[in-house]
Amino acid sequence: MGFKILGLALAAFALTLTTSAIAQDEVEREGVITTRNGNTLVVQTREGPLTVMLTPETEIRETSGIARRETRGANVLQPGLIIEPRGTLSGDTLTASRVHFRERDWRAWVAQRGGTQQQFADAARDRAELRDAIINGQEYVVREEVTVYFASGSAAVSAQHQAQVRTLASHAAGFGNYRISIIGYADPRGNAAANERLSARRALAVRNLVIQSGHIQPGRVLPAAPMGEGAVAPGEAAPTSDAEARRVVVRIVTAKTQLTQ
């Protein structure tokens, strides 16, 4: 009997250690959602960009005050919202067991979203001028460019393209009074209006990456230009496939009147 009790005690102790180890493997971060693609979030944290994977088991809670917690659906997790994801970390990807956010942050996001919609409207009014100045190449000279390609339906920038965009950004200051032009596209499949929205998400994702690179003054980055499907930038070959059509063209440009260096 004594051996049986001892065995049970050892088993319970081992289970405690295992549970403790699992708990220690989980980490918690705080950051703001920059992009979302299905169940994949890109979150900007103090430690840098973090990919957060949601699963059917991920607990999503809204907290208010000390004790109030409400379970929410994953649809509330949208770009601009401050969240605290917790889960297992592998490299720069966290598989979330739970995601918490504060009610006050959600209310701030709702208020900010109204301003964001106004910004989209302002950008739409500026688009004709932007087409003349950048898209049609009438007033600017392209100094350097990178084309970022996307998976179907996605606005997530791959690690390879992130590195290329950061390299381009690091070269910008060498061109004097430069600006950064960012033009987003989608392939022709599906609804044209939805494709334009997708091209906007792609362009904004790349624009955020350029600004976050640390090499560019935000005022030098032109408003992201969502072109939807079927257009090309001046000097750019027309895409020959849907894969080539899903892209964002990032360019360092200078005014034609600027003296060359």
pLDDT digits (tens, 9 = 90+) for 117-156: 555 555 555 544 544 555 455 567 889 999 999 998 889 9
Residue 254: name the closest of 105, 97, 114, 143 by CA: 143
Please name each of the domains of the chain with its CATH number: 26-127 (2.40.50.140), 136-255 (3.30.1330.60)
Q: Is the pLDDT of residue 18 over 70?
A: no
Strand-pair category, 178-186 with 247-255: antiparallel
What does pTM read for this prediction?
0.48
Q: List, for residues 41-82, the tens digit of each pLDDT value.
A: 999 988 888 999 999 999 999 888 666 788 888 888 988 889
Which sign does the torsion angle of CA 33, 36, 41, 47 carry?
negative
Dihedral over Cα of 225, 232, 211, 53: its sign: positive
Question: 166-188: per-residue pLDDT in tens?
Answer: 999 999 989 888 888 888 888 88
pLDDT at 96 over 50: yes
